[in-house]
Amino acid sequence: MCIIFALLSLVFSSINDFVFKIFSKQGIAKGTYISIIGAVWFIFFIPFCDAPFSSLNSTTIYYGVLSGLLGAIANLLLIEAMRTSEVSVASMIYRLNLIPAALCSIFLFNESLSLGKILGISFAVTAVFFISPIKNKTSISWATYATLIIAALFRAGMALFYKQATLEDINIYQLLILNGAIWVICGAIYTIAFERKSCPSFVKAHWKYGIVSGLLCCGIVLFLAKGLEAGEASIVVPISQLGFIGTAILGVLVIKEELTLRKCVAFSMGILCIASMSSF
């Protein structure tokens, strides 16, 4: 079941990354967008929990706040980077988070290092290389590249906090509700601190993109968390984070990004990664 959950998270992330790209070109406040996503997230998960607030404890609050903060920062950085890069390239580099997440889970959670995991991580690294700006015709600045790497590290940290939370028998729905609340707060702070004078803080497009992305993010985190409950992080995280395959396909079909040989090789490596991680 953990592989099925991971694949569902992959599908939702593929679509959401593409929506992020479309939003990034609108020239409106990213913080407001993140806040609306968080609000949708917060409301969506309340019915999943019998007593969402009365039974909160310090451990749940700790993991909920930190994982939510890491996730909000990661996505703000990703959206910013997507303004100046192809969606396929940005999504692929961002998915580097599967490498530190898988490696750290082996050391932090004493998970096994199987042949399948070694091959899967190797294929993932190869895929990222082939779609990276190194010797690539894709135009991406080193500043954007660095932003995506930092975003990936924050995203890996969020996934590891999720795994630790499941090991401590924390109510996953309370954790997700707290995540949504943190996104609302982080988005508002970001808009007030960095965007209020430089771009429109709240327009109708915020609702349209925010609600769509909010529902997609609910799917991403729900199935990721369920996958981590059912299996090892070193398997679930790499598979769920290979959504760049679908995102790149959407980029080619919808906004006519160039389909190069390097991208095709990267897609193939991504498929091999999924096969390796799920077959051994």
Token couple for 266 = 């990267």
Token couple for 192 = 């007030």
Q: What percent of the chain has pLDDT over 90?
A: 35
The pLDDT tens digits of the residues spanning 171-196 come to 888 999 999 999 999 999 999 988 87
Cβ atoms 38, 256 nearer than 8 A: no
pLDDT band at 213 (very low <50, low <70, confident <90, very high): very high
As a whole number of angstroms, the distance between CA 20 and CA 23 comes to: 5
The pLDDT tens digits of the residues spanning 119-176 come to 888 887 887 777 666 655 555 777 888 899 899 999 889 888 988 887 888 888 899 9
Q: What average pLDDT is seen over the chain? A: 85
Residue 141 confidence (pLDDT):
76
The pLDDT tens digits of the residues spanning 67-93 come to 999 999 999 999 999 998 888 888 888
pLDDT of 39 over the 90 cut:
yes
Stated pTM of the model: 0.87
Residue 265 confidence (pLDDT):
85
As a whole number of angstroms, the distance between CA 145 and CA 49 comes to: 39
For the chain, the structural domain boundaries read: 2-46+54-279
Amino acid present at 92: M
Residues 6+ apart with CB under 8 A from 83: 24, 25
Cβ atoms 49, 177 nearer than 8 A: yes
Residues 6+ apart with CB under 8 A from 72: 34, 38, 182, 183, 186, 187
SS3 labels along the chain: CHHHHHHHHHHHHHHHHHHHHHHHCCCCCHHHHHHHHHHHHHHHHHHHCCCCCCCCCHHHHHHHHHHHHHHHHHHHHHHHHHCCCCHHHHHHHHHHHHHHHHHHHHHHCCCCCCHHHHHHHHHHHHHHHHHCCCCCCCCCCHHHHHHHHHHHHHHHHHHHHHHHHHHCCCCHHHHHHHHHHHHHHHHHHHHHHHHCCCCCCCCHHHHHHHHHHHHHHHHHHHHHHHHHHHCCHHHHHHHHCCCHHHHHHHHHHHCCCCCCHHHHHHHHHHHHHHHHHHHC
